[in-house]
């Protein structure tokens, strides 16, 4: 850099770069993604400092910022990895060390691959056999309501499919530009994708006082106001909620569907946590099922895209980037356009497709692997349920922290009271007050959580998102450490 500065003093100086902050895509500049934002960059630095022997008030950084189960020590489900290893290296099909059903499943998947190999491209919407298995999974899940494999598009994680559907929806200029209603708090993929696509983000607020319930009156308010400056054409719902952990009631889903139908909104249902429901009395209802059971005109007219993923649930196979979208009542000509669009990227990763197949089509009770598979699955889900309960209890026992029940998903999103002097100090630093809190928390305890401002929240309230994924023996001390830090922080700025 010193050399470059020196050169600049001579003639002819270096040319300005072609690609600079001034000249680059302004939409990309507006993108924000808090889950991997500055706080996580700082966490990485702290880990490196610890490795280099720098003394800190903590011995390890705990990454409770992202729903990454295996990074927090959760073991992969044996059956999934057995089948995948057989698919990756079919020589192992001759080995005596694999159960026979794992071999059968691997052979079935390989038969459906080009050249019988995970190394060939699949068709762009995903391997036909796997899309059929996904359709059957949906049919079982929804009590027999049929699903059509030609409505299933496999994807590179659910994120990929969500962005693809949003991409189709974006059109118009000025006041006619597509607006998309998203919940606040939201998972920031939505705000990021809308910024990148230069669409209009329309916020509707979840009701924290009623356990983050979705209220149609609030949808109506948001829609009415948005119509002044854009053309709202889609409504995103995240159920179970991320970061908010609520599970929607069937009545609520029906009301949302009626609203979307009346107001002519394309529905995007982010249902990637459909297997992560813990609270007694809570139950997952898919939008597809509710919409179909509501009958005419909803069943045959309301457009819907429902997303699912292999990254969450009980398996937490984030690294494989497996996911899918089911489109319902989509105009066939638009579906053709969607197929064309995804074909440009050739295909989703085939190992991720294979993994998704095992998730939607797990061992049957008569299979040799069933007992172990079922035991592993139940252990993970039971632990998550216990951790969800514990998180809520410990936080709510702390003065100044209020935590709604974690009915589902993998996160708590507690509200924290921050003293006015802390808010003022943050403003002096040009920082959101909860970012200031979370950064101080990280520096002093090694706990990495994401400030609520990264997800959106009502003005003047402060939150953070913390995963419930750390192992049980670590989670309780972690929650207590965090609560103590909040007390100390409150005292410091009072």
Burial 330-364 (b: 16+ CB within 10 A, else e): beeeebeebeeebeeeebbbbbbbbbbbbbbbbbe
All residues at 6 or more sequence positions from 74 whose CB lies less than 8 Å from its CB, including other chains: 316, 380, 469
CB of 395 to a second copy, least distance (A): 25
Tell me how far apart the alpha carbons of residues 236 and 277 are, in angstroms, rounded to a whole number. 20
Q: Does 303 bind a second copy (CB under 8 A)?
A: yes
Indicate if the alpha-carbon torsion angle 64, 66, 68, 71 is positive or negative: negative
Q: Does 417 bind a second copy (CB under 8 A)?
A: no
Q: Does 117 bind a second copy (CB under 8 A)?
A: yes
| Contact criterion met (CB below 8 Å) for 362 and 369 | no
Q: Which stretch binds a second copy (CB under 8 A): 9-17, 219-227, 240-248, 269-277?
A: 9-17
Q: Does 360 bind a second copy (CB under 8 A)?
A: no
CB of 105 to a second copy, least distance (A): 14
**Residue among 274, 250, 292, 251 nearest 143 (CA):** 292
Q: Does 84 bind a second copy (CB under 8 A)?
A: yes
Nearer to a second copy among residue 85 and residue 431 (C-beta)? 85
Q: Does 85 bind a second copy (CB under 8 A)?
A: yes
Q: Does 185 bind a second copy (CB under 8 A)?
A: no
How would you class 125 by CB atoms within 10 Å of its CB: exposed for 0-12, middle for 13-18, buried for 19 or more?
buried
Q: Does 291 bind a second copy (CB under 8 A)?
A: no
User: Binders of a second copy: how many residues, by CB under 8 A?
Assistant: 101
All residues at 6 or more sequence positions from 68 whose CB lies less than 8 Å from its CB, including other chains: 316, 318, 467, 469
Out of 19, 51, 281, 428, name the contact with a second copy by CB under 8 A.
19
CB of 146 to a second copy, least distance (A): 16
CB of 171 to a second copy, least distance (A): 5
Q: Which stretch binds a second copy (CB under 8 A): 29-37, 136-144, 273-281, 441-449?
A: 29-37
Site string for a second copy, 210-249 (x = CB under 8 A): -----------------------xx---------------
Tell me how far apart the alpha carbons of residues 437 and 439 are, in angstroms, rounded to a whole number. 6
DSSP-assigned letters across all residues of 315-354:
T--GGG-EEEEEEES--HHHHHHHHHHHHTT----HHHHH
| Contact criterion met (CB below 8 Å) for 302 and 260 | yes
Out of 185, 348, 408, 454, name the contact with a second copy by CB under 8 A.
348
Q: Does 15 bind a second copy (CB under 8 A)?
A: yes
CB of 71 to a second copy, least distance (A): 3
Q: Does 14 bind a second copy (CB under 8 A)?
A: yes
Tell me how far apart the alpha carbons of residues 221 and 234 are, in angstroms, rounded to a whole number. 15
| Contact criterion met (CB below 8 Å) for 400 and 489 | no
Site string for a second copy, 122-161 (x = CB under 8 A): xxx-------------------------------xx-xx-
Out of 129, 330, 356, 384, name the contact with a second copy by CB under 8 A.
330
Element (H, E) at 223: helix 216-226
Nearer to a second copy among residue 354 and residue 423 (C-beta)? 354
Q: Does 313 bind a second copy (CB under 8 A)?
A: no
Q: Does 480 bind a second copy (CB under 8 A)?
A: no
């Amino acid at each position: 850099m010193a050399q470059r500065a020196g050169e600049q003093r001579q003639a002819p100086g270096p040319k300005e770069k072609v690609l600079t902050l001034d000249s680059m895509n302004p939409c990309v500049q507006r993108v924000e993604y808090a889950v991997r934002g500055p706080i996580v960059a700082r966490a990485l630095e702290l880990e490196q400092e610890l490795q280099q022997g720098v003394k800190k008030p903590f011995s390890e950084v705990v990454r409770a910022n992202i729903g990454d189960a295996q990074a927090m020590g959760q073991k992969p489900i044996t059956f999934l990895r057995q089948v995948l290893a057989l698919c990756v290296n079919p020589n192992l099909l001759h080995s005596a060390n694999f159960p026979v059903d794992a071999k059968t499943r691997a052979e079935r998947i390989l038969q459906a691959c080009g050249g019988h190999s995970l190394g060939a491209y699949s068709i762009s919407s995903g391997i036909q056999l796997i899309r059929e298995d996904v359709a059957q999974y949906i049919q079982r899940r929804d009590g027999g309501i049929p699903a059509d494999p030609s409505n299933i598009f496999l994807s590179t994680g659910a994120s990929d499919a969500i962005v693809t559907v949003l991409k189709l929806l974006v059109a118009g200029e000025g006041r006619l530009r597509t607006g998309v209603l998203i919940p606040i708090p939201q998972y920031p993929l939505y705000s990021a994708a809308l910024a990148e696509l230069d669409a209009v983000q329309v916020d509707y607020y979840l009701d924290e006082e009623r356990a983050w319930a979705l209220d149609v009156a609030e949808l109506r308010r948001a829609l009415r106001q948005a119509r002044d400056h854009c053309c709202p054409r889609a409504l995103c719902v995240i159920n179970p909620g991320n970061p908010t952990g609520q599970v929607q009631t069937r009545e609520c889903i029906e009301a949302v569907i009626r609203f979307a139908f009346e107001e002519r909104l394309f529905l995007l249902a982010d249902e990637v946590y459909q297997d992560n429901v813990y609270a007694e009395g809570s139950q997952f209802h898919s939008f597809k099922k509710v919409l179909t059971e509501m009958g005419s005109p909803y069943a045959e007219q309301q457009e819907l895209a429902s997303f699912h993923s292999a990254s969450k649930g009980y398996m937490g196979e984030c690294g494989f980037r497996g996911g899918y979208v089911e489109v319902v009542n989509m105009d066939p000509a638009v579906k053709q356009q969607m197929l064309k669009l995804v074909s440009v990227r050739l295909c989703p990763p085939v190992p991720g497709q294979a993994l998704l197949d095992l998730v939607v089509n797990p061992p049957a009770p008569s299979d040799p692997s069933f007992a172990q598979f079922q035991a592993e699955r139940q252990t993970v889900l039971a632990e998550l349920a216990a951790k969800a309960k514990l998180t809520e209890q410990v936080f709510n026992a702390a003065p100044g922290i209020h935590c709604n029940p974690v009915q589902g998903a993998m996160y708590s999103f507690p509200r924290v009271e921050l003293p006015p002097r802390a808010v003022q100090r943050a403003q002096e630093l040009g920082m959101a007050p909860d970012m200031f809190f979370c950064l101080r928390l990280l520096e002093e305890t090694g706990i990495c959580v994401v400030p609520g401002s990264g997800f959106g929240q009502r003005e003047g309230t402060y939150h953070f998102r913390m995963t419930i994924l750390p192992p049980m023996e670590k989670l309780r001390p972690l929650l207590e450490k965090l609560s103590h830090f909040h007390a100390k922080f409150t005292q410091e700025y009072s």
